[in-house]
Amino acid sequence: MALSFQDFRDDQDSEYAAYFGGPGLPALFGAEVAARAIKGLQLNDQPYTRRSLVHLDYKQPVPGGHELTAQLFWRTEDFRFFPFPSLLPAIPALSIPATPFVNQSTNEVQVYGLRTTISTALDDWLGPEARLVWGFDWERDENEAYATQYELSDYSASGGLVHTPLNTRFDYSPDVDTTSGALFVQLDWPINDNLSLQAGLRYQDTEAAISDYVPITESVFGLLGVQPSPAVLSGGTIDYDALVFNLGAVVRLDNQQSLFAGFNQGFELPDVARLLRGAQPPGSVPVSTGVAQPASVDDSSLDAIRTDATEFGWRARSSRYEAQVALFYNRSDKTARFDGQLATMLDQDQRVYGVEGNLTYFTEGAFYWGAACSWQRGETRTPGEGWQAVSAWEVSPPKALLYLGWQGPVYSALLQVNRVGDYDDAFDDGSPNAVAIDGYTTLDATARLRLRLGEFGVGVYNLLDAQYVTAYAQQAGEIYGSFTEVPALGRRFGATYRIEY
């Protein structure tokens, strides 16, 4: 039996805020400004991340060639985010101009449950090393999100530095309590020295209980006096269930090489709270979001997402080298789209396919060198337009890695070149919220020294002090505005000391 626990605290105490172009927040209204930090932040409730967890693990052989493994777990996570300004679009029909507001959201999550597996030897039926693993999982996830709002005139006049709380609190999404249970069975069957098969089944049933909810736009318009009687999204319960399976095989070609192939079905629950954040129940202020938002909990867009994943590959290993190449193709029956403010579930297929590979070569001495790369493309089937590439928030740009290392009994060193390539697919296809991603290259150098007790390491990251903006920040700039295109960190140094026990 083993007991493990963790308590993590990350509290911010900063004097700096994002630059919005000065008083009046021109960046919020589309003005191009340089992304940088300015001093003078006045904010009492600064962001934090807090996490606590406890795991109790139990492992015990049982009669009949079985082995029981069980885990009880409990976890809480609390996140308070930095206040962020937003702009409610104008509503000409009601003579309401574009309305800026600033709020700060907090998310609280509690998760607990039980996982059990029983491993059964099948020597008498299928031969040596054949095993059947079966069991069940149960999990409860309780999610709550809320926000507080700040006085706009002080915030705007100070260019986003002064935060005067309005002593208000409103829901940032409905509370969602999700209960999941699953039964599974997995077979691992080495047929002979050259062929092994894997196969499995999993049945999962999930229920999401959703509270009554006043959408964010209704809450903000209510605080501004525009909506004296905010519309309420009535809560409800959504049930999901699915039976999925997997198949796999490994063929050994010789003592160094093998081929592998696999097919796996996945069952992904949508982020119900996120999808309902911008809900527009009957009676809502008619805000135009560009895409249809749910009007009720029963909206069909909240269906679960099923994904079929196929993979083929080759791997090899010897005393001088390690290599692997894999091709993959994943297809889902729905597409989740996120524009930074609202999430939408589209009833259209999505596919992601690509290739990954890596190679490491060991010389006769202590040196080794290697490379790794990955390329993928993601597309959604848009009605009337066929397959259309998705943004850099759905798929990663091409990546490549080159490295040269030296591994001695006491000292080791590594020089590594990292390349993130351009990603123009979604921009060229005219996909929503797409931006042409510019690639960048960085160089890192690290070294380690083994001591009598532990290991000491040093590193210089972005050694050449390259100036660039990450792919995530470039994509964020298209959604939120130029003020979020924050340049990446320049040259930086690090030191570590590690003890294993």
Q: What is the pLDDT of residues 269-278, one digit of tens each?
A: 778 888 888 8
What's the confidence (pLDDT) of residue 430? Answer: 87
DSSP 374-391: EEEEEEEEETTTEEEE--
What's the confidence (pLDDT) of residue 441? Answer: 98
Taken in order 286, 289, 291, 296, the sign of the CA dihedral is negative
How many other C-beta atoms are found inside a 10 Å radius of the C-beta of residue 485?
20
What's the confidence (pLDDT) of residue 300? Answer: 56
Q: Which of 392, 379, 248 is nearest to 326 (CA)?
A: 248
Residue 157 predicted with pLDDT over 90: yes
Q: What angle do CA 352, 358, 364 make, to 5 degrees?
A: 175
Rounded to whole angstroms, the Cα distance separating 67 from 59 reads 7
Asked if residues 258 and 205 have their Cβ atoms less than 8 Å apart, the reply is no
Identify the weakest region by mean pLDDT among 11-15, 299-303, 402-406.
299-303
Rounded to whole angstroms, the Cα distance separating 348 from 350 reads 7
Give 155: exposed, middle or buried? Use CB within 10 Å, 0-12, 13-18, 19+.
buried
What's the confidence (pLDDT) of residue 340? Answer: 63
Identify the weakest region by mean pLDDT among 101-110, 220-229, 386-395.
220-229
What's the confidence (pLDDT) of residue 287? Answer: 77
The pTM of this model reads: 0.87
Residues paired with 188 in a beta bridge: 131, 198
